[in-house]
Chain A
């Protein structure tokens, strides 16, 4: 199964995206905890896409593609806003969350922890794509 959507860069769409991916995850046979993992990972990518990539400009859009089979879900998020390289980032300091200078940087950490695959590329046309995959254990 495959579904494709376009959403405006508005955090108000996050709840809807959470519902869509939960339905897909359920059809693919994931349990509630696994669906929670997938929802969080996708929410983090979409939040970054909306806020960092597209600067919450409601006139800009990003594309979401959700595809699944029994026991596996693959999600693609395409966006052409601010360029960035996730390799440049450090891990968050989990020991000192309450002391550290900033409280950020958890989003991509969750993504790596919760999904079986999470990769990022920038096409020659400047389109940034995240691809995240989860399989049933």
Chain B
């Protein structure tokens, strides 16, 4: 799993590359948690280059989004889901409770609206 961060207008855009599964989910969680500790609370999780997500990856998304909303008045926006990954968000119902955008730009702008 490759992880990159870009900061734009105080929004941290975290772009993942690779499978988001039980083998890689801890790395993603630690990466975002480190930024939360440094004071960030608005995140875009850009999944353009994620071909696969399992329940282990979804669990990290759920835990981080919940924490950002409940403890930091922040949020985690999701962007650029590939079709098979999008299907997993749909059957889990997560698409109903998270804000999901077509691309990372929209997801970033979503914080100023």
B36 within 8 A of A: no
Total CB contacts across the A-B interface at under 8 A: 77
Which of A15, A51, A97, A113 neighbours the largest number of chain B CB atoms within 10 Å of its CB? A97
A12 within 8 A of B: yes
Contacts A50-B22, A98-B62 given: A40-B97 contact, CB under 8 Å?
no
Q: Considering the chains assembled together, what is the distance between the CA atoms of A44 and B73 in angstroms?
A: 33
Contacts of A18 in B (CB 8 A): 19, 52
Q: How many chain-B residues does the 8 Å CB contact rule pick out?
A: 25
Contacts A39-B52, A40-B54, A47-B56 given: A106-B92 contact, CB under 8 Å?
yes
Contact with A along B53-70 (1 / 0, CB 8 A): 011101100110110010
Cβ-closest 9 pairs across A and B: A36-B84, A11-B23, A106-B55, A94-B93, A103-B62, A47-B22, A107-B55, A103-B59, A11-B22
Q: Write the residues of chain A forming the contact surface with B, with a CB cutoff of 8 angstroms.
A: 11-12, 14-15, 18, 32-33, 36-37, 39-40, 43-44, 47, 50-51, 94-95, 97-99, 103-104, 106-107, 110, 113-114
